[in-house]
Amino acid sequence: MTSRFDFQIHATDGKARTGTITMRRGEIRTPAFMPVGTAATVKAMKPQDVRASGADIILGNTYHLMLRPTAERVDRLGGLHDFMGWDRPILTDSGGYQVMSLSELTKRNEEGITFKSHLDGSRHLLSPERSMEIQRLLGSDIVMAFDELVPTTSTRDVQAAAMERSMRWARRSRAGFDSGGEHAERAALFGIQQGALDEALRKASADALLDIGFDGYAIGGLAVGEGQEAMFGVLDYAPAQLDPARPRYLMGVGKPDDIVGAVERGIDMFDCVLPTRSGRTGQAFTRSGPINIRNARFAEDQGPIDPECGCPVCGKWSRAYLHHLVRAGEILGAMLMTEHNLYFYQALMADLRASIADGRLTAFAKDFRNRYYARET
């Protein structure tokens, strides 16, 4: 019999930990980076190549999938895993973030959020119960609680009210998830801590979540423009407010140096569109900082994107070729840049895990930052 959800911490180094989450669809090595597969595809990547890059789990977006092809259709087609050809764990977000950032809201109250689709203007409701239903229909392995987000520029009162509503919705999410029958016996549910940049609100949110009880805990509401210093400020205390025996997931983060700093502060899981999105626009990550492959200085550069990279792209194609492809708007440019960036992220996570296991994370992080910031463009 395989485990529904088990988290073993193998080693710690300062606040950082490395471990393994075991689920029936596979193991997730932590700290883990989850590539984003918004609309049932990690953009410009075949799932087998996502796996080959080292990903143990990917993320799917409830908001996008509920609108197209719809959760009901994915369910009729056998679930998201079969549909897209990815047989390992999938974490789905709750839709709360995208509904706020992508759609036109028509109603927002204790029940949930009514909105118009950005695709066709059709009207939809997202509530804790509906979000749980959608994530169940998708066949998600790690389900996220549905929460309410407010702008970071809101007053403390507004932030407090949104956090408190999110905690009530967390309880409804728990109930909705638990009523999901067979799916609830196979999947896991994560709660999401809110509270903006306020330590007391964060503590109240953590306590509310711990009282409900979840398989893991996400830190939400960060990486939304507050800057790395403010984010790290929260991460200096927020992880310790959560259950140390459970995975801590920092949603929507981030840049490589964000990830290194967050791992040092005790984060176990990450997701971000950066490696995929920036790959499509010509940004490549290297250990000496990001480069824009469109830059004229790469036009006849016969070296690989990153001489230290062991990815299939760096083993075969030059910066000059990628420069040409991206400048010409060729799909292959998006494919190869994305593949390299996903490998870069997964290699970074592997190095972080090994550094923690060997008790040398501080030295690794210092060396990483020294080199990474030396040539950021």
103 vs 159 by CB, closer to its own copies: 103
| Binding site residues, its own copies, CB under 8 A | 39-41, 43-46, 68-69, 73, 76-78, 83-85, 280, 299-300, 302, 316-318, 320-321, 324-325, 327-328, 330-332, 334-336
234 vs 334 by CB, closer to its own copies: 334
Is there a contact between 183 and 137 (Cβ–Cβ < 8 Å)?
no
Q: Is 14 helix (H, G, I), strand (E, B) or coil?
A: coil
- Please give the Cα distance from 6 to 19 (Å, whole number): 10
271 is catalytic: yes
Closest CA to 44 of 343, 337, 293, 313: 337
321 vs 345 by CB, closer to its own copies: 321
Residue 305, phi then psi, degrees to nearest 5: -50, -50
Q: Is 192 helix (H, G, I), strand (E, B) or coil?
A: strand
217 vs 298 by CB, closer to its own copies: 298
Residue 328 Cβ vs its own copies, minimum distance, rounded to whole Å: 5
Catalytic entry in 13, 56, 93, 147 = 93
DSSP H stretches of helix in 213-288: 228-235, 238-241, 256-264, 274-281
Catalytic entry in 13, 56, 141, 271 = 271
- Please give the Cα distance from 20 to 32 (Å, whole number): 9
Residue 132 Cβ vs its own copies, minimum distance, rounded to whole Å: 23
268 is catalytic: no
Here the tokens at position 337 are 């840049």
Is there a contact between 277 and 306 (Cβ–Cβ < 8 Å)?
no
Indicate which residues carry an active-site annotation: 93, 271
